[in-house]
Structure 1
Amino acid sequence: RIAMQAEVDLIVLGGMGLKFDDYLFFKDTLEASGAMSRTIMFIHTASDPTVECMLVPDMALAVAERFALDGKKVLVLLTDMTNFADAMKEMAITMDQVPSNRGYPGDLYSSLAARYEKAVDFEGAGSVTILAVTTMPGDDVTHPVPDNTGYITEGQYYLKGGRIEPFGSLSRLKQQVNKDTRDDHRALMDGMIKLYASYKESVEKKSMGFMMTEWDDKLLKYGRLFETKLMDLSVNIPLEQALDLGWEILSQCFEPNETGLKSDLILSRWPKKLND
């Protein structure tokens, strides 16, 4: 989905430990969308030798860097970095290296950072943007691979159950919000996440059999709309449309004074049909 939506000149896909069905899915999706003509793929399947898995990120990034120096905007998709780390672990055990946390080699952080930090914007030329998928075994965020990845990268989407889980996601680029996007972006984002946290509490109250208030009912309606219309991975809309949809969802569930947003922002952005 991100590859289809990204405004880039070239897509480099590095697949590590993929099931053959997953490889065919990537290939068929890129072909169906017409993006295959600007895509380079380095694929290591689960049945290929382990040592070849360790070569994929370096080859993908080397090619991306070469095209970026020629002035191209390049998007590098790496999936799955947990499989890459597992290949490192297997090789380290074979070489009788002293294991570190959960059996992974002691240079895991450095090895991941050496790949992730290849993201670059060349002055007077192109750029390399890296998006890596990291599976969390057992949804364990303390697992060495996602834990180290969180320290290195500029942010992460935490995906669970086919949706973005906002409380596990983070960004170190939030200071760019509003300045480079839209004046209501940060306030709307913070307000909707705050209401979503209240929705989670209402869900817990309902599951425990507590009496539900009118406010709880509003939160439950809001939470369902927020998850299906904004957080679901099937949603594919641009930022401006997503912000407008956010206001629309709020207007369907709450009165303006219930949102906790500033009055001047509500006056300028609240859907006009409800004001009338």
Structure 2
Amino acid sequence: MKEYQTITEISGPLVFAEVDEDIGYDEMVEIETPGGDTRRGQVLESSEGLVAIQVFEGTSGIDMESSVRFLGETMKMPVTEDLLGRVLDGSGNPIDGGPDIVPEERRDIVGEAINPYAREYPEEFIQTGVSGIDGMNTLVRGQKLPIFSGSGLPHNDLALQIARQATVPEEAEGEGDDDDEESEFAVIFGAMGITQEEANEFMADFERTGALERSVVFMNLADDPAVERTVTPRLALTTAEYLAFEHGYHTLVILTDMTNYCEALREIGAAREEVPGRRGYPGYMYTDLAQIYERAGRIKGVEGSITQIPILTMPGDDDTHPIPDLTGYITEGQIVMDRDLNSQGLKPPVNVLPSLSRLMDDGIGEGFTRADHADVSDQMYAAYAEGEDLRDLVNIVGREALSERDNKFLDFADRFEAEFVDQGFQTDRSIDETLDIGWELLSMLPRTELNRVDEELIDEHYHEDVGEEVAAD
């Protein structure tokens, strides 16, 4: 352990100190103030004779007389299966009044990249119970699928709903096996920069539903140091990796809000006087985000898995902003929450048209879900998109100017939002229920319009009585 009393500058969350020997990058630091307080920090930059240290608990009270101790190791997370059911702060310290953590081992929070050759291709269906996701933008085990939201939208409610309801069917549904079982996820919930009110809502929901028993919660609040937000997602992912790859858990990692994380990166970059990139964010933000997102996945021969749902609020609802833009490049799609749908009272307000799950085709259909899943999804996409286009035309020429066929597509779009998308935050739908609702809606359209569905599936699932009722109306 090396100790110095050579602080030369304090800038925002950073402390600069002179040293006379090599100091490792990311090495942990303890700073003792003249008043006897001890702060934790991490080496952010190391050059000959000078180091930059980011201080997790803030630099208030630190002055040039403070002592700096270099601990000779990087930051580690104490991990154990007993973490399930615990609530920790953004630095990994228990805040639930429970006993101290007795770790089975301590792991470097940077983690180890999964060897691409050792990766198992994600293709097992995850049932979230949310029709807009399961039916139209299916989540697959080992995938990273972010939620793109905006300020004031109920993304936290959707995150809690998924955390409560997400299950991994062990065998394909609809295959005639009554003994099919479902396994629940262990949920790793990492909150960054949230308000105390939001934190209370999260905890109340976790405790009310019993989800806390299979969860590990990391809480970094808005009034906590911004620098702490840079380690919170890494602590969460280190815990997830341990539970998944050492104990065989299917882990679902929910990170909210990644926008607050990126703002912390920008604050640190400004304190270091770095040359800024787009809109003032660091030029290395793409690499930094990739280090987080790419820790999702599966490993060949290992039972467990890590599935990520990062949540970000797009500043100004702008999907070209650097945070959603870079996130979209790295991840495998996005779930988009829509302000107009939210104003109409839809819960959850998921807009399925700009949403996308790039791995959906590999996780649905015969062998994973019902054999008609892909066809139903494709046909509903096409019908809803046509209905949306016709809404724009109605604003110009009026509904009376449209043909009977066009009016059916308009009615389909209205009922699709009201019955398929809008289900509330407490409703848990199985994939069979979701697809049955889809067939009920598609039966509003003439059989001749179902040009994306196999004829045998139409014969099996099409509701002639619905089509006749619509024609009579």
TM-score bucket of the superposed structures, by smaller chain:
over 0.9
- 1:76 offset after TM fit, Å? 0.8
Aligned to 2:325: 147
**Using the alignment, how far apart are the partners of 2:258 and 2:420 within structure 1?**
26
Aligned to 1:134: 312
**Using the alignment, how far apart are the partners of 1:168 and 1:128 within structure 2?**
25
Name stretches of at least 5 consecutive residues in structure 1 with no aligned partner.
none
Of residues 402, 414, 427, the one that matches 1:212 is: 402
Q: Which amino acid aligns with 2:359?
A: L
**Is the contact between residue 247 and residue 271 of structure 1 (CA under 8 Å) also seen in structure 2?**
yes
Q: Which amino acid aligns with 2:365?
A: N
Distance 1:111 1:50, change over 3 A: same
**Is the contact between residue 99 and residue 106 of structure 1 (CA under 8 Å) also seen in structure 2?**
yes
Aligned to 2:457: 265
Aligned to 2:179: none
- Residue 376 of structure 2 aligns to a residue whose secondary structure is helix
**Using the alignment, how far apart are the partners of 2:316 and 2:432 within structure 1?**
35
Superposed, 1:53-202 pairs within 5 Å as 53-68=229-244, 69-122=246-299, 123-161=301-339, 162=342, 163-176=349-362, 177-179=364-366, 180-202=368-390
Distance 1:106 1:3, change over 3 A: same
Q: Which has the higher helix share?
A: 1
- Residue 290 of structure 2 aligns to a residue whose secondary structure is helix
Aligned length: 275
**Using the alignment, how far apart are the partners of 2:309 and 2:454 within structure 1?**
35
- 1:48 offset after TM fit, Å? 1.2
Aligned to 2:95: none
- Residue 112 of structure 1 aligns to a residue whose secondary structure is helix
Q: Which amino acid aligns with 1:120?
A: G
Higher relative contact order (CA 8 A, sep 6+): 2
- Tell me the percent identity: 36
- 1:220 offset after TM fit, Å? 2.1
**Is the contact between residue 164 and residue 233 of structure 1 (CA under 8 Å) also seen in structure 2?**
no
Aligned to 2:139: none
**Using the alignment, how far apart are the partners of 1:257 and 1:202 within structure 2?**
19
- 1:20 offset after TM fit, Å? 1.6
- Residue 354 of structure 2 aligns to a residue whose secondary structure is coil
1:222 is the counterpart of 2:405: no
- 1:172 offset after TM fit, Å? 1.5
Aligned to 2:84: none
- Residue 131 of structure 1 aligns to a residue whose secondary structure is strand
Question: Structure 1, residues 183-214: CA drift from partner, whole Å, max 9, x if none?
Answer: 21111111111111111112112222432332
**Using the alignment, how far apart are the partners of 2:394 and 2:198 within structure 1?**
38
- Residue 65 of structure 1 aligns to a residue whose secondary structure is helix
Farther off after superposition, 231-240 or 50-59: 231-240
Give the root-mean-square deviation of aligned CA atoms. 1.9
**Is the contact between residue 99 and residue 105 of structure 1 (CA under 8 Å) also seen in structure 2?**
yes
Name stretches of at least 5 consecutive residues in structure 2 with no aligned partner.
1-160, 168-183, 343-348, 469-473
- Residue 43 of structure 1 aligns to a residue whose secondary structure is strand
Question: Structure 1, residues 164-183: CA drift from partner, whole Å, max 9, x if none?
Answer: 11221112213313242222
Aligned to 1:2: 162
